Amino acid sequence: MEQYDRRPARQVTVPLVRRDSIGASHHVLTFEYDTPLEAQAGQFVMVRGTNWGQSPFLPRPMSLLHGGKRPSILVKVVGEGTRRLANAEPGDLFSVLAPLGRPWSPCSSHRVPILVAGGVGVCPLLFLARTLKQQGIRPVALYGGRSSGDLVLYEELQAESDLRLATEDGSAGVKGKVTALLDEALMEADGRATVYTCGPRAMMASVVAAARKANVPCEVSLETVMACGYGVCLGCAVPRFDGGYVYACSEGACIDGRVIDWKK
């Protein structure tokens, strides 16, 4: 596995300074740090409101949209923790442990980065697209969801990439799954693609299979359930194809997709 510049994670208590809601289900939360959070694309935070009491007890993992003095996350409401995040108001205090996890591997200038996002899997890929832009690289981005309402932050992604959309109900982009766009993008890249993907497990399994068929590298971001986020609880084990497990928080979240047993 490629080495990376691992900055130690810091546990801080920071205020929320903005909550930008995108409909009822999606919310961008921005926190204010005293000293900038030095995070790399693909890294995540463990976040918990200081006023949450006993429930939910554990912090929630969220990918970073960017680091800096005012790091942001995008939250989709699925349960109690994300509902509490979505209802937070500016001034509310949060305990944040960051930066965590292995970031995306760098993409050399003679490769063609293809970013494949499903739903809120867009977060670590938008951070990656912004990082690539700073290096003068404009990636191809393929973004899919059930309907147009799932394609949050697509305008931000469009600003950084050659963006193509797919929705299962046809309300935006081509009708069908995002993976339907991948074969064409891989063909255009003519063997020089490096694929990065984050989204539902079945989508990532298809993306890894397509990249394998095209004989190009493919990294995935593993968004399994996590309790600690830094390799202590062993609750984030994901089966390896060659037996045993990888721990998504410490060996991922970003990892070579070929390492994972996608059938289990």
Ligand X SMILES: Cc1cc2nc3c(=O)[nH]c(=O)nc-3n(C[C@H](O)[C@H](O)[C@H](O)COP(=O)(O)OP(=O)(O)OC[C@H]3O[C@@H](n4cnc5c(N)ncnc54)[C@H](O)[C@@H]3O)c2cc1C
Evaluated on CA atoms 47, 30, 172, 137, the torsion sign reads: negative
Could you say which of 49, 61, 173, 257 contacts ligand X (CB under 6 A)?
61
CA 63 – CA 33 distance, rounded (Å) = 17
Instruction: Find the Cα–Cα–Cα–Cα dihedral 34, 40, 46, 51, rounded to 10°.
Output: 30
| Spatial contact of 150 and 127, defined as CB atoms under 8 Å apart | no
- Give the CB-nearest residue to ligand X: 79
State the nearest-atom distance from the C-beta of 61 to ligand FES, in Å.
8
Q: Which residue has the tokens 């937070």?
A: 88
State the nearest-atom distance from the C-beta of 158 to ligand X, in Å.
19
In the chain, where do the E strands start and end?
Answer: 10-22, 26-31, 44-49, 60-66, 72-76, 93-100, 112-118, 140-145, 162-167, 174-175, 193-198, 218-221, 237-239, 245-247, 254-256
- 3-state SS class at 152: coil
State the nearest-atom distance from the C-beta of 128 to ligand FES, in Å.
22
Evaluated on CA atoms 134, 19, 91, 15, the torsion sign reads: negative
User: Which of ligand X, ligand FES, none lies near 79, with the C-beta cut-off 5 to 8 A by kind?
Assistant: ligand X
User: Which of ligand FES, ligand X, none lies near 176, with the C-beta cut-off 5 to 8 A by kind?
Assistant: none
Which residues ranging from 244 to 263 are in contact with ligand FES (CB under 6 A)? Answer: 247, 249
Count CB neighbours of 48 within 10 A.
19
Which residues ranging from 185 to 244 are in contact with ligand FES (CB under 6 A)? Answer: 226-229, 231-236
User: Which of ligand FES, ligand X, none lies near 202, with the C-beta cut-off 5 to 8 A by kind?
Assistant: none
The window from 9-17, 28-36, 58-66, 153-161 that contacts ligand X (CB under 6 A) reads 58-66
User: Which of ligand FES, ligand X, none lies near 56, with the C-beta cut-off 5 to 8 A by kind?
Assistant: ligand X
Name the site residues for ligand X (rule: CB under 6 A).
44, 56, 60-63, 73-76, 78-82, 120, 123, 223-226, 253
- Which residues of this chain interact with ligand FES, rule CB under 6 A? 226-229, 231-236, 247, 249
